[in-house]
Structure 1
Amino acid sequence: MAVEIGLWSVVEEPEALALAGPGAALLTDADTAYAVGSDTLVVIATTATGTEMTLPGPFPDLVEERLGTVLRPAVHAFARLPQGCLALGVAQATELGYRRGALHDIRLRFEAPVPPDLLGRVTPGLGWLDLVGHDPAGAMERFIADWYGEAPAAKEPAHSGEPAALRAFRRAAAGRPEVYGVSTQIFEESLAGRPDGLLTFGQAGDGVFTLVMEPDRDDPRLWYDGLSDRLLPERERLGGYLLHSTLARAAMDGPLGGMAFVDRPQARRIVAPLRQVPLRPMRWPCLFSRCYAGPGTVVLIGEDDTDWFEMYVGVRHPGLLRRLRKLGLDWESFTDSR
């Protein structure tokens, strides 16, 4: 009897894979599972957008053989959730990206778009956005865990006298030294000794400015020292700033992504499928610097009251850069392989 699974239902992984039929070849890796049958292919992946799923290579030979031909089998797509596999329905392999002769990524487009009320369930890594308005420190911890993956065992730093948001940052960064940053750096320990009594907790990667904050406050105000002839206040307090700057470093410092100068229409196209992070704009790297996020993607757009913008993008896997490559941007830097 043929297996039938209703659209948007949640089933166990063996039941999902059984859609490929008896004798199907089962092929799995850390993030994706495939079942390749005689005329059907099942894929279970960790992320999807409302209309499509991008599968990063390398691919098992049998999957590449089936999807790389003109007559491609029907693909039944599932998103892996903590409670099982969510049926996304039948998908078509609409684009196959090759690099140096090898299949680099596959874009699957769903016949039926994912309903908005389910979208958050199939885009792990965006749940933190719902916390930003009332718990920016919690949002930051969830983003770091999602973006940087499982951290190696590390002792949590003990800084009991620091503000709660900075302690949350250090908890999340434990075992992940890259979280402390390159473009901007958060110090592993705040420094006292300034005549004005402020604490220094970070600096620009090139040393142009330092980051200073009020001492002994739950959520202190902070300033840039070096961007102006006097202390320049940041718009958010420490909790919001640490989240925003963590996102900015993901866009600016990661191994996959790039930087370009874009005009206003290009900026609108870039952020159209993304969600704006609901925080007031940072004052660096531009006077008005805003972050936008999507599944596996962070974009920083910086504006200095002009018609041109600085744009930085960081992604989790190369397939997410395909849309940006097609926009014809004049990239200052671009890296699409680790």
Structure 2
Amino acid sequence: MFVGVGASRVRDLFKKAKENAPCIVLVDEIDVVGRQRGTGIGGGNDEREQMLNQLLTEMDGFEGNTGIIVIAATHRVDILDSALLRPGRFDRQVTVDVPDIRGRTEILKVHARNKKFDSDLSLEVIAMRTLGFSRADLANLLNEAAILASRRGKTAISSKEIDYSIDRIVAGMEGTVMTDGKSKSLVTYHEVGHAICGTLTPGHDAVQKVTLVPRGQARGLTWFIPADDPTLISKQQLFARIVGGLGGRAAEEIVFGEPEVTTGAVGDLQQITGLAKQMVVTFGMSEIGPWSLMDSSAQSADVIMRMMARNSMSEKLAEDIDAAVKRISDEAYEIALRHIRNNREAMWLRITREKREHSQFNKNTQTQFLDA
């Protein structure tokens, strides 16, 4: 990039806006330009700061009746330069969350106008199953389902196409189904271990489906129905998720023996370690006490600030944090092992019955399995 080109383009933008007033100037992904100054090294960073300074200057030059409204969008408001958020600039922030169930239903109605559905398929049910989906996700869901129905020679979208499309959006493309053998048995017990521990641990999300169909990098997957409000999670719920996450490794150890545990739990271990550490350092849910042990500098965009945040923690406190994380993980693993031991026979009977004909368990099958 030539020096000064970015600032020149900002000047040209606002000049054109004044010539075409009244108008709206929309700056998408403003964190690319508006990142906190002094957080980088090199000429590229200097050029970005020149663009930011020019943007601040242009916004300061507005009078009350220019007829120009400046709107910016970002996913990272936490890293924006404080000068951008001062009164007279971007001083009004509007948070746009993913839609709730009513919003999802209305969005689905819009994208369903030009599509045909089976009479027994309800958009309200689809909305209930798509918690956390954005508007784009919902549009993509119905488009994927319509394409799949067309490939199958159908004239209307059924629940099977919806199920497949949800799985594809959440977990990725479908891979080749495993043939019978030790690997399939390992994956089967691993995934059902997640389902057992999740269902038997108070506070865990309900099991929706267990599948042995590979998707993305996963050989098998276990789906859970998330809580209605993902922003308020209790200590019991967090601990239950750790127990559920360790259910796969626990099933491998109990069924096949400790020497036969596999690398299939690597993603689970990363996830539960992160949850346990959050409980200790972020949420104050350990014997260390109700402290927030995460230095705000550790989240800084500045590499040097992050390094300083790590070095500011005493060795004793770091050891206490590691010990608390280990205690939570060890306690959760013991519970997971106990769940598998107590339900091993029922698990074997249900898996033997189901895997003869199916490659996945749905919610009803899972309920029957646990009753067994």
TM-score by length of 1: 0.31
Determine which structure has the larger helix proportion and give its number.
2
State the structure with more CA Rg: 2
Determine which structure has the larger strand proportion and give its number.
1
